[in-house]
Amino acid sequence: MRAFGVYQVELPPGAETVAHDHAEDVSVAVRGSGVVVVDDDEVAIGPGTFIAVTPDSTRHVRAGDDGLVFIAICG
């Protein structure tokens, strides 16, 4: 269990996470909507959407108009 962390992230409407590229991660949207920006590509997410990102890509998450709650599993 020390090889990864699990986080619930709750973003209000329009908020975004800090861009990072330090870990491999998988995220799943639980509630709301938004986008995951991987390098320069935006991927829309909503409840049930899974996104996996490798450590060589920079990414951040931006909440939509209704906010976003997602679970991130980072290795």
CATH of the domain at 28: 2.60.120.10
Residue-number span of the structural domain to which 16 is assigned: 5-74
Contact 17, 61 (CB under 8 A): yes
Helices (H) and strands (E) in the chain, counts: 0, 5
**Tally of domains within the chain:** 1
pTM for this entry? 0.88
Grouped pLDDT means (10 residues each) for the chain, 75 residues: 87 95 88 95 96 90 97 89
